[in-house]
Structure formats: structure tokens, C-alpha cells
Amino acid sequence: MFQASSEGQDVCPQCLNAEFSSGAATPATSHEELIKEYTGSATRRQQARARRLGRAFASSSAFSMMGKVRCGFAVLLFLICVVLFILGDGEQKTFLNQLEPEAQQVISISVCALAAILLLPSYTRHKLVVGLSALFIVLMGVFMPSLWHHRTAEASSTPGTVQFDEKTATTEAPEQGRYLKDEELSMYIKLHEEKPRGIHYSVFMRCDIDDNHKTNGVLTFGRMEQATRNLIKSSLSRFMHGAEVLINNSRDGNGVIFTIANASGQRINMEKILNRYGRVYYKDTRRGIYELALESDKVQAGVDIDPQARMNPHSARFAEANMKALASLDAKLVADAARKLAAANTQVLRGDICDHILRTLETPWESEPDAHQALVEALTVYAREGDSRIVEPLKLYFDQCIKFGRGISSPVVERLVREAPERVADSVLRLWAANPVAWNEITGKLGTHAEQRMVTYLERGNLPLERITDILTFLHDYGSSVSLPAVERYIDNADKTVSTKAQSTAESIRKRQSESRP
């Protein structure tokens, strides 16, 4: 049964034992190595399983659920965006057609870009088809706002909208004396297409050749000087409550087109404003299109004034020169003239100066706060006490300062408090509540109009301790017997600061009462 390794070897039991013992194989691996090999095998199996799952999630197989979900969600987002824009193309107001075109563009691009990102990894076996589909969705996101909605506002009867009919424009223009051709209004027409619900105007100022004006050097007719353009642009913006004004030339260069974009409020009497620049010879109020012949003497009003007469208060022509400057279209010149008149406080022609200032304040000044303040301060200097005409312009200035968070001129507020305390009491008290220290003195000039409100606050109770202290401080200086019962209620207050202040205020009021008695 056994064979020796060589023919001459002995096969006795001892020899066989020695033979097989020397050829016994040692174990291939230890226990630790077996465990390590098993662990590595398990890791490789897990990695292979993960690769299979990944291929399943990104696969184009009909059995890939995640691919179908991503594709379906991408298509749903795209269809929702399309439907919303189609609905916005009707007569009814929707979320989209109330937005500006820029906002619509952002929404469209954002939604379609998200849909394309979801679609791209859904199917990997049809990369060309999926890529073209994603590109189509992105392009639709870019152009979708221009495909729908823009005709909505033009087709509606909303006030302030304009419909441009090329046939109507070309046939009516010669009969009504319009000078510009339709293609020269391209900027204005595009503005209406982009923002159909806004109120816009197109004003063409024609510069006909006039040898007299040309030799005088006041204005170069047929080609408007840059300084004149800037002056008209800034003044038009001011008259239109700070609206944006765009400029472009007419085709033959014989005038300038001023396009007023997004004017605030409803349509106004533009002809009254434009008469300050020249003679209006064509107007279409429905469309907001005006044409006028520019008159240099109106545009340059106040510019050719003798500076020496305007700056010297002792000059015999000081008042007349600055009153003429108030009619200028240049806001800086108007502000400078108003300050010089206020500082001089001249006794000559005071009534005329007041009338000129009131006439100047009839136009809007909220976009020129520096000139506005100079005008109302000059008005407080030259208006007689009790002149009711000054209340409205001063109140308008006061309200605009509060609205835009501007500093308010103290002389103007003090004059308002004297002339119409009941109209400014609530506004002044709100300013006092925000800064009691700065507004304490002016509020005190309201008299009973302020005291009655302070007493009401104290009687109402549930006020912060700081506000109670502010009211007691005010009544300490300006309170009368009317406020004494409300003040005495706080003498026994649990807070020592409040009780001490109430005691001091009550004593101050009693002292004023005793001093006022004969």
C-alpha cells in the first residue's frame, strides 16, 4: 500500500513513519488570516451590490423606479410653469401677469432649470434624447414670458394702458399735425410692451431754426445743447414726481425725444407742465404722446440774470432778480435764490416775494428735498401771520419729510404749530414719542392740543415706566391744571423714580398756577 521514495529504502514501520512525517504539509493560513480573508470577501460583495444598485437607480431599464420618478417630476414642473403662463395670457388678473417682465423671466428660468437638472440623470442609455429634451426645457424657460402674457394688459381697458395700431397712427398723424414718424417712437412702444401697466409719456421737443435765438447764443436750435438737455431732463423728472426720463434724438436731428417711464399716480395734465418749455402743437392724451416747439426764453428763464444784483441784498434789483430766479427750471438756482431771500429778509416787495414762492411750490418738489426746504423756509420768513395760504405747502413739506425720513426744518414746524396746531398735533406727538428730548420744546408749543393727549395717555395706564417719566417731564414744563389730577395719581407709584417725578411735576404745575393768578 505504500511506496518508498526510492527503491532502496526500507519500508519498515519506523521508516514509514519517518517518511510521512517529513512530507506532512503545514496549514496554509492561520485563524486570523482566515478571518481577514472572509472580511475582505464580504466587503467586495457589498461593493458589488452597491454598484448594481447604482446602475439600477440611473438605469434606463423599464424597471428603474427612481428614473421614472425624476423624469415625471421634471415634466410636471415644466407643465405647471407652462400652464401658469398660459393662464396669465387671459383677461383675468393672475399672480404672473401682475409681475414685471424681469420677475417673470426669473421665475420661468428658475423652474425650467430645475426641471432640466432633474431630467438629465434620469436615463443614461439615451443620453442624446435626454440632453436635447433638457435643452428644450431651458430654452422654453428663457423665451416663455415673451410667448405669453404681454398682450394681456394692452388688450384690457385698464386706465393708463396704450394700444399701438400702426394703421391708425399713420392715418391720424398728418391730420393732427404729428411730426415724428412711428419708427421714431420705438423706445416708447417697447417700454409699453415691457411694462404695459405702467404710465408712460413721450415728449418730443422740436428745435426749429431761428436766426435771432441762434445769434444771441442762448440756445443752438436744430441741435439741442447738452446743458439744455440735462436741464429739461432733471426738471421733467421733478415735475413727474421723480420719474425716470430717457433721451434719444429724432431721426433728422431737429429735436429731442424725452421718454418718461413709470410715472407715479394717474395721468395728469401734461400740457400745463409742458407749457413751461414751449408751445404744444400736438397731443394724444390717451396715448401720452406730446410734441412741442421749444422756446428758449422759457427754458433759459433765470439763467441770464445779473449775478451781482441777485447776490447783493443792498441792490435795488435784489428782490426782482431772485423772484425771477424762482421761475427757473434749474432746482439749484431756485434753492439758491430762496436762501438768499430768506437770509436777507428784505422789507421790499414782501407780498410779491411770498406770492412768487407760493407759485413755485405749486409744482412737485419731493425729488429735490434741498430746494424744497429752502423754499418753505423762505415762505415762513415772508408770509404774514395768519396767512392761511401757507398751511398746505408747509404741511406737504412736513408730511414728505416724515414719509422719506428726512430732517425737518424747525422754523417750518414752529410756523405750522402756530398756524394749524390741530392738523400737525398727532404727527408732532409721534415724533416726540420717538425722541422726547429733541421734540419737547416744539411739542410744548402745541399747548392744550398736546396736553390733552398726554393726560389721556396717563389715565389709560399700562405704559412703560420710561414713557411715564417722559410724559411727566413734558407736563413739568408745559402742564396746566388740566393735567394735575392725572399727575397726582402717580405720586404714590411703587417705582421711586416715577413717584419722585410725579411729585416734582405736581409742584411745578401748582407754582405756575399761583404765578398766573393776579
| DSSP string over 122-170 | T-STTHHHHHHHHHHHHHHHHHHHHHTTHHHHHHS--TT-----HHHHH
Supply the pTM of this predicted model.
0.60
pLDDT number for residue 475: 93
Separation of alpha carbons 315 and 351, rounded Å: 18
pLDDT of residue 11: 60
Q: How many CB atoms lie within 10 A of CB 201?
A: 24
Buried (b) or exposed (e) across 42-51, using 16+ Cβ within 10 A?
Answer: eeeeeeeeee
Q: Is-contact 257 250, C-beta < 8 A?
A: yes
**Structural element, H or E, at residue 246:** strand 244-249
Classify strands 244-249 and 201-206 as parallel, antiparallel or unpaired.
unpaired
pLDDT score of 267: 65
Q: Which residues contact 125 (CB under 8 A, 6 or more apart)?
A: 59, 60
Give start and end residues of each alpha helix (H) in 405-495. 410-419, 421-434, 436-444, 448-460, 465-478, 484-488
Predicted pLDDT at 100 = 62
Do strands 289-294 and 201-206 pair parallel, antiparallel, or not at all (unpaired)?
parallel
**Domain spans in the chain, listed from the N-terminal domain onward:** 65-155, 188-299, 306-419, 439-518
Alpha-helical runs (H) found in 269-330: 270-274, 296-299, 307-311, 318-325
Q: What is the pLDDT along the chain (518 residues), one digit of tens a residue?
A: 455 555 555 566 666 566 555 544 445 456 667 676 667 777 777 777 777 666 555 444 444 677 778 888 888 888 888 888 777 654 455 666 556 666 777 888 888 888 888 888 776 666 778 888 888 888 888 877 766 543 333 333 333 333 434 333 333 333 357 888 888 888 888 888 888 888 899 999 988 755 444 444 444 445 678 888 899 999 999 998 888 999 888 877 788 999 998 887 666 778 889 999 999 999 988 888 999 998 888 888 877 777 888 888 888 899 999 999 999 999 999 999 999 999 999 998 999 999 999 999 999 998 999 999 999 999 999 999 999 999 999 999 999 999 988 889 989 999 999 999 999 999 999 999 899 988 989 999 898 889 998 998 888 877 888 999 999 999 999 998 889 999 998 998 888 999 999 999 999 999 988 876 66
DSSP secondary structure code for residue 388 in this structure = G
Q: What is the pLDDT of residue 211?
A: 47
Instruction: Give the pLDDT of residue 355.
Output: 96
Element (H, E) at 331: helix 331-344
